[in-house]
Structures are given as C-alpha cells and as structure tokens.
C-alpha cells in the first residue's frame, strides 16, 4: 500500500508536467507553430545588434588552463594532415566573392603583412559552459579591406575544412556589420602559441560577442556574398540544424 501511495503522489506531481511536455512537443513538431517560435530572433538582433559594443577583455591570470574544444573532429583529409605536419606550408586562406581583388594569403603573410591583434576574451558555448583564452591574429575587417568589399555585398561566409560524421562541411556567416566589429578576429595564436589542431588550426574566426558556434574553426575560404540562402542554407552548419543565425543570446 505504501508503494501505491508513493506512486500515486509521484503521478500527481509529474502528470501535469508530462502533459505540458507532450503538448509542447507536438506544437514544436508543427511547422506553422515552429515558425512562430523563430520570431524573437529578429527582435533580439534588432536590439542587441544595434551597436558594436566591445566584449570584456580579461587579465592574463583569468585564462583557462585548458581551452575546451567542441564541435567536429579535426579535418581528416590528407591535404590537411600534410599541412599540419609541415608547419602549414601549402595552406592558403582564400578571400573571394564580391570583392574587388580576390586574394589568397599564406600564414606568413597573415602574420607579417597585417597588424597583430591580441585579446583575452571569454568563449561562451551554446551548451552553457565558458572558457577564457588569449587570441592573437588579424582583424577580419583588415583582411576584407585588403580585398575591397564591393557595395552590393551584405554577408561574409566562412568555409571550413572540418566535416560532420556524414561528410557535410562546417560553415558560418556574419553580416558585414558584424564582420567589421573590432574584436572579430582571424586568429592564428591561442595563448601565445599557434592555435592547436583541436581549437581550429591553422586559422579560426573568433567573435566574442556571440556564442562559440559562430567562431568557425579550420577556415580556408572567406566568401563575400549579397545574400544567404540557396546553397548557403540558413548561413551556418548549426543554423541549418535549427540554431539561431544571430547567436548573441
């Protein structure tokens, strides 16, 4: 009898919750209602994206002992492995699309032909955890200016070398305004050493004002475009899985 009463009280407590969960889940699976749930993203972008405030920069003693990596396994193609073994000789970052002068850069050019920027910023994963690291690299805006963005351009797409289990490549995108943020960095060093492979070697994007998935790793091509959509999907690998394109929250 005692067991019966406990079960009964348990059901009284959990059934209303289970009812809510199951009702909400069926609404979640309804395409019309799901579109409704996407509405706040536009509002959030309009409010939080209205300016370009700087993310807080931390002190050296705040740096996390290990910069946790998330996402896919490092790129597995033979070319990437060959580059990683010979100090990234052969790797070039390509910048093309709606630019006056499409160019490509090797790591030495990125390290020496541009001003080196260093920032100690917090990396917030969409899962909820945070790590702090010191990133050095070139401002994304400096590279884009070097190629000359054409007036009809609106977005910058980052094509990466890592793939999910099914072979789909990672990619991300920023608006031109977000790409002009002074802390939007193409980083080649983490904590004073070349970016480790697990953290996106040889070059990764770092956008400290948005969640970690916007900071694409293993970047090999930057494409400047007029619009997202079509073959560019919703503007990113995780965006195509239902995550927000604007990852400021």
Give the interface with another protein as residue ranges (CB under 8 A): 14, 17-18, 20-22, 24-25, 28-29, 34, 36-41, 43-44, 48-49, 51, 53-56, 58, 62, 64, 66, 68, 122, 124-132, 208-211, 238, 241-244, 247-249
Looking at the Cβ atoms of 98 and 207, the one nearer to another protein is 207
Looking at the Cβ atoms of 83 and 237, the one nearer to another protein is 237
Listed residue (225, 99, 220) closest to 171, CA to CA: 220
- Evaluate the omega torsion of the peptide bond into residue 232 and state whether it is cis, within 30 degrees of 0: no
Looking at the Cβ atoms of 62 and 73, the one nearer to another protein is 62
Place of tokens 């702090």: 132
CA torsion through residues 42, 48, 52, 58, sign? negative
Smallest gap from residue 248 Cβ to another protein (A) = 3
Is-contact 121 63, C-beta < 8 A? no
Looking at the Cβ atoms of 19 and 229, the one nearer to another protein is 19
- In order, the DSSP letters of 58-107 are --GGGS-SS----SSPPP-SHHHHHHHHTTTTT--EEEEESBSS-EEE-H
Smallest gap from residue 33 Cβ to another protein (A) = 11
What is the three-class DSSP state of 129? coil
Smallest gap from residue 64 Cβ to another protein (A) = 5
Task: Show the tokens assigned to 148.
Answer: 């000359």
d(CA 170, CA 165): 11
What is the three-class DSSP state of 223? strand
Smallest gap from residue 192 Cβ to another protein (A) = 18
Smallest gap from residue 224 Cβ to another protein (A) = 23
What is the three-class DSSP state of 132? strand
**Nearest-5° Cα angle at 171, 165 to 173:** 155
Smallest gap from residue 222 Cβ to another protein (A) = 22
Looking at the Cβ atoms of 173 and 225, the one nearer to another protein is 173
Task: Show the tokens assigned to 103.
Answer: 């160019």
Looking at the Cβ atoms of 40 and 60, the one nearer to another protein is 40
Smallest gap from residue 178 Cβ to another protein (A) = 10
Looking at the Cβ atoms of 38 and 227, the one nearer to another protein is 38
């Amino acid at each position: 009898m005692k067991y019966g009463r406990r079960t009964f009280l348990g059901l009284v407590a959990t059934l209303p919750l289970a009812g809510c969960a199951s009702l909400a889940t069926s609404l979640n699976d309804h395409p019309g209602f799901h579109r409704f749930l996407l509405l706040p993203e536009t509002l959030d972008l309009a409010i939080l994206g209205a300016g370009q405030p700087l993310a807080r920069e931390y002190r050296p003693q705040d740096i996390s002992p290990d910069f946790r990596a998330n996402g896919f396994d490092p790129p597995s193609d033979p070319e990437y492995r060959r580059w990683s073994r010979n100090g990234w000789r052969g790797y070039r970052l390509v910048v093309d699309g709606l630019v006056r002068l499409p160019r490509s850069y090797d790591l030495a050019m990125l390290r020496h032909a541009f001003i080196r920027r260093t920032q100690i910023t917090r990396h917030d994963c969409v899962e909820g955890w945070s790590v702090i690291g010191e990133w050095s690299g070139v401002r994304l805006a400096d590279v884009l200016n070097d190629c000359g963005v054409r007036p009809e351009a609106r977005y910058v797409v980052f094509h990466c070398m890592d793939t999910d289990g099914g072979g789909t490549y990672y990619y991300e995108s920023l608006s031109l305004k977000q790409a002009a943020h002074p802390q939007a960095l193409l980083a080649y060093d983490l904590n004073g050493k070349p970016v480790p492979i697990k953290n996106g070697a040889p070059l990764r994007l770092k956008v400290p004002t948005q969640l970690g998935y916007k900071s694409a790793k293993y970047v090999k091509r930057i494409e400047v475009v007029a619009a997202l959509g079509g073959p560019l999907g919703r503007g990113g690998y995780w965006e195509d899985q239902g995550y927000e394109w604007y990852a400021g929250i």
